[in-house]
Chains A and B, each alone.
Chain A
Amino acid sequence: MRIVLGAVAFVCSAVTALRAQRVAALRWGGDAEGGAPFVEASPGDPTRVRGFDVDIANMIARGLGRDARFVQVAWASIPASVERGDFDIGLSGVEDGPALRSRHAVTLPYFEFREVLAVRAADSARFRRLGDLAGRRVATLGSTRAYDILTAEQRRTGVVPVSYDDDVHPYTDLVNGRVDAVLLDHIIAERSLRRSGGGFVIVAAPVATGHYVGVLARSNAALRDSVDAILRARMADRSLERTFRAWGVWDDAQARHFGRILGDTTSAARVTSDAPRSVAAYVPALLRAALVTLSLSALAMLLAVAAGAVIAAGRVYGPRILRVALTGYVEVVRGTPVLLQLFVLYYGLASVMRLPAFAAAVIGLGLNYGAYESEIYRSALEAISRSQLEAARTLGLSELQILRLVRGPQALRLALAPMTNDFVALLKDSSLVSVITVVELTKQTAIYATNIGSWVVPGILCAAIYLALSLPLARVARRLERRWTIA
């Protein structure tokens, strides 16, 4: 009995200790893919992170008497993730804005960044302002303030925004001529300039200024207030300045910004940009994106059907060496992720062949699906009975005529149902091409959702559009199939 009581007491105290430890840890979310100087995997120990946001998180945790624990999260998902309770505070170059403030508890702005233009050195004389880039492609990260600035500019002067999922490729694509400028935070621009060692210049006059903030769940305003107090104290005692200096991002603008914060007793930053736009404002953009999805899918499917037919014919009729080569192609394409294929096609081959993003998307998806189509056609061709082929031969038709007039048309009827299936799958897989800067329906929805801070309405709209695209297709296919099985 005493042993049992002892065991229970031990378990209880262990649970209490664990709970105490959990309370003690400040879970903070950031994206190590964002890299230095924000958050990056430590070169000495890749399981640890470092960067000024890491130092700030540690500073806040110390001020709260807790340990800091890092939680990796994709940058664009930080606000949604903190609201879900995945961590207590998000710190990773999170941009202040009205949408963020309307949905979440936001700390005081701890850093002031400038949105700066980067252009190729040769263009530095003619591209000095955003207005000089009418009709030109300007790259940035999707779902950022810079992207919002570019879309507003698109309506005004016809600048063409190009959205990337990372902040490295905009600059490499600038250097190799795929885009004419990049608009991003000056920290990112300067880092990229150091890395690339030239090839472009940063336009000195900023396009806009913005602030990095910490983001917390809306219900967590009490913790936010404690964090604000800590940040203000670290600004006052200059430890925040030392951190920024250590990471090479301190400048006069920060000094002026800190002065304003410390002189101002209300923590809410003055927000100058316009309020979150309504649902109606996003519908035209979604419909345009749906058109991109549809045309991309249709073109890719066309290519897939053509490639599939050629591969299948080669595998059924071709000499051994061709059959082996085509089988190898099919297996490699089917055995590797389409995402990887898109990356290789767009970025990997950029030094040899500079494909426009849309063309790369069509080719990447088309050749990928072509491998699947070829398997469908091959088995359909092989399903046509020998007596049909022999009857055609005794009539004096050539092999090519037999394929075109007898075997192909019958195989097509067999292939129709799986083909429709593939086209519907392709329609949805086309969302993958946002990684190579094509803004299609899913990407546009993500941008919309980030802007308004909710996935509910954008998600429903997006799903409705996908269904509106795929359901008629399935119906047409069913009708054709019915007609052909009778015939």
Chain B
Amino acid sequence: MTSALVIRDLRVRLGARDIVQGLNLDVAPGEICALMGVSGVGKSTVLRTLVALQPFTAGSINIGDVALRAGPLPRERALRALRGRVGLVFQAPSLFPHMTALENVMLAPIHALGATRPEVERSARALLAQLGVASRADAFPHQLSGGEAQRVAIARALAPNPSVLLMDEPTAALDPARRGSLGRTLRDLAASGRAILIATHDVEFASAYADRVAVLADGVIVEAGPVALLARPSHDATRELLRFGSDDRESSAARRL
């Protein structure tokens, strides 16, 4: 099967720093890939580059039949096709505070895709139901819990029906029970044929729900493969991540006690 997302030799400069220095990554439809690495390694930058919020200096990005070129960001008008194919859920949900959950989800289909309101509302309510927040459709963002807000944000990103879904640190604000429920939801979304790339340092979550992992260190993917590689790491960066991840888990377990 051809990949939904293909990244070749990607180089990104952030200020004076070359934060990504030749990154290669493929994500296939129906697959959940975890882009892993310690904080500050550039995971978020990669995601931002994939949705053209961040320019890149060299390499290529292909999302389905849409190609992004190196150099300055193109005008927003030229990004229409890209916007319809890839959705991003930010670490902070960034819902629009002056709109209800339903209106947040309906915004893009109505205004960016020009679909008709009744049709959009039907599919938006279906999306909210699929994500388990149908009852919160008329709530404003400040009335939602962190988990609910994240689900609404996922629904909003999925509303234009993208083939690729990107999520930045999706488990950062969730307790263990909600992590499991989010993981199952992502598996369902992948099962319907979407390619999902999550940037995370949560080893436990990645082990439980991802198909593949790619470990980012020093601007390149140092180790990639089936999720089982987390059990037998071959690179120091992966080992550090596992140690960091378990420390993280222990400390959060300690906090719960």
Contacts and interface: CB of A to CB of B under 8 A. Distances in A.
Interface of A: 387-388, 390-399, 401, 405-406, 409-410, 413, 484, 486-487
Given A393-B53, A395-B156, A413 B98 contact: yes
A334 to B, nearest CB: 30
B112 A410 contact: no
A290 B192 CA distance: 67
Interface of B: 51, 53, 76-77, 79-80, 83-84, 86-88, 90, 92, 94-98, 107-108, 111-113, 140, 142, 156-157, 159-160
A307 to B, nearest CB: 24
A480 to B, nearest CB: 13
B107 A397 contact: yes
B53 to A, nearest CB: 5
A395 B107 contact: yes
Contact of A395 (B98, B112, B140): B112
Given A387-B92, A406-B96, A487-B140, A395 B53 contact: no
A-B CB proximity, top 9 nearest: A396-B83, A396-B112, A395-B108, A391-B94, A387-B94, A394-B88, A394-B51, A409-B98, A401-B111
Contacts of A391: 90, 94-96
A395 B90 contact: no
A401 B113 CA distance: 12
B108 A396 contact: yes
A405 B83 contact: no
Contacts of B95: 391
A405 B51 contact: no
A487 B76 CA distance: 30
A388 B86 CA distance: 18
A395 B120 CA distance: 15
Q: Tell me the dominant secondary structure on chain A's binding face.
A: helix
Contacts of A486: 140, 142
B88 A396 contact: no
A482 to B, nearest CB: 14
Contacts of A409: 98
A251 B173 CA distance: 97
A405 B112 CA distance: 12
B94 A388 contact: yes
A269 to B, nearest CB: 71
23 contacts: A388-B94, A390-B90, A391-B96, A392-B96, A395-B156, A395-B160, A396-B83, A396-B108, A396-B112, A396-B113, A397-B107, A397-B108, A397-B112, A398-B112, A405-B107, A405-B111, A410-B96, A410-B97, A410-B98, A486-B142, A487-B98, A487-B140, A487-B142
| Residue from A390, A391, A393, A406 whose CB has the most chain B CB atoms within 10 Å | A391
Given A387-B94, A405-B111, A410-B97, A394 B140 contact: no
Given A405-B107, A406-B96, A413-B98, A396 B77 contact: no
Contacts of B96: 388, 391-392, 406, 410
A487 B77 CA distance: 32
A314 to B, nearest CB: 19
B197 to A, nearest CB: 14
Contacts of A388: 94, 96
Contacts of A410: 96-98
Contacts of B112: 395-398, 401
Nearest to A385: B94
Contacts of A395: 83, 107-108, 112, 156-157, 159-160
B143 to A, nearest CB: 9
A392 B79 CA distance: 13
Given A395-B107, A396-B80, A398-B76, A390 B53 contact: yes
B87 A394 contact: yes
Nearest to A399: B76
Contacts of A396: 79-80, 83-84, 108, 112-113, 160
A409 B103 CA distance: 14
A405 B51 CA distance: 21
Nearest to A404: B111
**Residue among B84, B88, B113 facing the most chain A CB atoms (10 A cut-off):** B88
A384 to B, nearest CB: 10
B76 A393 contact: yes
Contacts of B79: 396
